[in-house]
Amino acid sequence: MTPVTELHYLTASETSALLRAREIGAAEVTQAHLDRIEAVNPQVNAIVTVTAERALDRARELDEGPWRGPLHGLPVAHKDLVSTKGVRTTFGSAIFADHVPTTDDLVVKRVRDAGGVMIGKTNTPEFGTGSHTVNEVFGATRNPYDLTKSAGGSSGGAAAALASGMTPLADGSDMGGSLRNPASFCNIVGLRPTPGRVPSKSTIAAWFTLGVSGPMARTVQDLALFLTAIAGPDPSSPLSIQEDPSIFGGSLDSDVSGLRIAFSPTLGGLPVDRETAAVTARAATVFEGLGATVEHADLNLAGADEAFRTYRAWWYLATYGDLPGVGENVRWNVERGREVTGADLAKAEKLRTRLWHRVTGFFGTWDYLIAPVSQVPPFPVEDPYVREVDGLTMPDYLAWMRSCYLISVLGVPALSVPCGFTSDGLPVGVQIIGRPWDDLGVLKVGHAFEQVTKAGSTRPPLYAPGR
């Protein structure tokens, strides 16, 4: 039998194998993670609603029944932007502080159908706005590697929970980096998938491609396991990719020798913190050691910034323009939306179309692009956002996220995978970007990288038993 004190840091794949062999039970796994939440969550503030009784009831039900699917018996934490039937869902907003949905979002239903055990809801800024997880309802989520630092955002609660052993799997979402940034800050892995890979229902902007749902975990193999459950077509989303999610169920082992990989250390001239740049540069050396051809090359991202900001502003107006009482960040985005004209949208569409053709041309030469995830390491948790990067003042709270949001506009899969640490022990991830629809290829390359660096196996120095 595996000691309960060790279960919270097994990978999801390892835990699944033990469950299938009946060496452990789902109730034992669930209790181990609930114990971990009790021990470390007061320090980190990652899981804001713990569904202990419900989770244990579900786990016991699974132990008594047949195998339910790829997530059988595995704890899963849902972002507090995701509606969960009968479980408080605040969206990180004081407006919805007491909101209890009557239906489940699609990702919640898919997790349950695959045998997953909902263990709680993870913290997020109001409506997922911003790459720092703090709100008026629950306060700030702290970085497990340094409790004085931000966990990133907006999926910061998910990333911090994973890093500190509170759950092996968590869902996230990403518009301008909300999944990749916290993955980098917390030394875990997160995939911004191709739009439509993980479908979600929207009643306002069903064809909007900047915002996507995606998986988060401690290993790339676990991301793939999670995708077998949450990916796949659904009629509620017109963007649904029809490919069978079982493609993610096999081994990710692959030979990356001979691949042509472009390394863009500043994504065409963005300011990047010097320590972040130094850690990210190691990725090029790792891939060269694996036999890939790595060269410095920049993808022409002209127009990406303007297109992203225009579409984002329009979406915020459409989604929250009639909602009173929202916080400062949401209000700022809505006001930007009120300034958008038809001519602005026409220009954004033209810019994005040109980007698409440049992207497809770029990936005609290169197999993958590697670049920084975030332009800075984790910053002080008291700061609302990063105001300066490598000596340059940021004009607003969005600007420091450009290394993520410029990629969002492209409609391609992008993986954040642990790369190393700064001299202060703060995590830094590398962003692996692939061709449109090549989510599986991105995961295979990330898996190969992960096997060499082992950076993700360095646990945070939390003062708790069995850390």
Catalogue the active-site residues.
79, 154, 178
The answer to whether the CB of 117 falls within 8 A of the CB of 7 is: no
373 within 8 A of 181, measured Cβ to Cβ: yes
What's the count of helices (H) and strands (E) in the chain, helices before strands?
14, 17
Q: Which two tokens stand for residue 165?
A: 């052993």
Q: What letter does residue 140 receive in the DSSP assignment? A: E
Q: Which residues contact 191 (CB under 8 A, 6 or more apart)?
A: 179, 214, 215, 216, 223, 227, 413, 414, 415, 416, 439, 442, 443
Instruction: State phi, psi for 456 to the nearest 5 degrees.
Output: -70, -10
Task: State which amino acid sits at residue 91.
Answer: F
Cis peptide before 154 (omega within 30 of 0): yes
Which stretch of DSSP H or E encloses residue 33? Answer: helix 26-44
What is the rounded end-to-end Cα distance, in angstroms, of the chain? Answer: 19
Looking up tokens 């409506």 gives 127
Round to whole Å and give the CA distance between 147 and 151.
Answer: 9
Which residues lie closer than 8 Å to 76 by C-beta, 6 or more apart? Answer: 111, 116, 117, 118, 119, 167, 169, 170, 171
Q: Which helix (H) or strand (E) segment is 143 a member of?
A: strand 142-143
Write down the residue that tokens 């920049």 correspond to: 298
Question: Are 247 and 232 contacting, i.e. CB atoms less than 8 angstroms apart?
Answer: no
d(CA 126, CA 231): 26
Of 131, 127, 183, which is closest to residue 158 (Cα–Cα)? 183
Query: C-alpha distances in angstroms, 319 versus 324, 356, 422?
Result: 12, 26, 38
Alpha helices in 231-366 (DSSP H): 274-289, 304-320, 328-339, 342-365
Nearest to 149 by CA among 131, 169, 166, 162: 131
Q: Which residues is 467 bridged to in the sheet?
A: none
d(CA 108, CA 233): 15
